[in-house]
Amino acid sequence: MGESDRYQDYRKRKRGRFTLGQDNNALMNLFILNVIFFLIMLTLQVAYFFYQQTPQLYNAQVVQWFELPANLTKLSERPWTLVTYMFSDTGGNLMRILSNMLWLWAFGYILQELTGNDKIIPVYIYGGLLGGIVFIAANYLIPPLRSQVNNAALLGANAGTIAVAMATTTLSPNHKFFTMIRGGIPIWVLMAVYLFIDFAGVASMSAAYSLSHLGGAFAGFLFVALLRRGKDGSVWMNRFYHWFTNLFTPGKNGKNKPNVKDKVFYNTGKRNPYNKTSIVTQQRVDEILDKINQRGYHFLTDEEKQILRKAADEEEL
């Protein structure tokens, strides 16, 4: 049994530490954000229907402020739609958002298990951004689509979701689902099924929609490829998020301050961050598990892996 397998087995015993109700569960936060946007648009759509307003009026007064227009002039007037479109969907697309959320949960859960909580939202956003850019470019560069550029618009979580799926598959293509069925089904098989269903759903639509999904998939692949080379594209995004949230946190001036854990255990000058000891305390193990939950197993130091391995041995894993 390898180190990562031993860690996964050990983590199952500590499953209570990683619940869906945690504030730092990025997957749950992403899921909730999509649902909130959908409910807002659905409520407004029902209100327009109740007051016997036309769907065209609803689209003109509500949807256009969320969807990404292919027309660059319209985009310059509503630049925020490059972000809002990837979290929004209309009430008439209930099956699409349900499908997206199921796929997001299936792949996102594994990605969060492998890399921690600070990767999934950046991957989703990168996928949405690149998918949106490809959608706009396709409408301008593909001759048959140019005549539709004034009316073409993009809405939905597809590009972001497929980015998460591709990042997960690229990171761990042999991860198994349903292990009780002949040893399990590799995640790359599930990814192939997802791609087939996704592109079959947009086959009758403009090619720009299919290309936007490919853009999202490429963003997920590129994120993992760069991560393996030591270039973490999530760092700046997470720093910005923490800086922004600290602006509204009492007692903080917007600057990231080192926490007690950093000062006590990490900020030790030129000395090694931990002194080797034959005794592994539960507090030390908890701190390492916290680090895994935040950043992922692959970011542990050799010393931390040794401590976790010894803790697993003591529990007779």
Domain spans of the chain, in order of start: 21-238, 258-314
pLDDT of res. 252: 54
Residues with Cβ within 8 Å of residue 160, at least 6 apart in sequence: 86, 104, 124, 125, 127, 128, 131, 216
pLDDT of res. 221: 96
Q: How many other CB atoms are found less than 10 A from the CB of residue 107?
A: 28
Cα separations (Å) of 97 from 156, 211, 248, 312?
A: 7, 19, 32, 41
β-bridge pairing 176-177 and 185-186: antiparallel
Residues with Cβ within 8 Å of residue 303, at least 6 apart in sequence: 272, 273, 274, 276
State the pTM of this model: 0.72
pLDDT of res. 1: 46
CATH architecture assigned to 21-238: Up-down Bundle (1.20)
CB 117 within 8 A of CB 26: yes
How far is 185 from 192, CA to CA, in rounded Å?
A: 12
pLDDT of res. 19: 38
Tell which residue, 175, 251, 228, has the closest CA to residue 5: 175
**Tokens 């749950």 correspond to what residue?**
28
Show the low-confidence residues of the chain (pLDDT under 70): 1-24, 91-92, 203-204, 249-280, 293-298, 313-317
pLDDT of res. 271: 56
Residue 23: what residue type? D
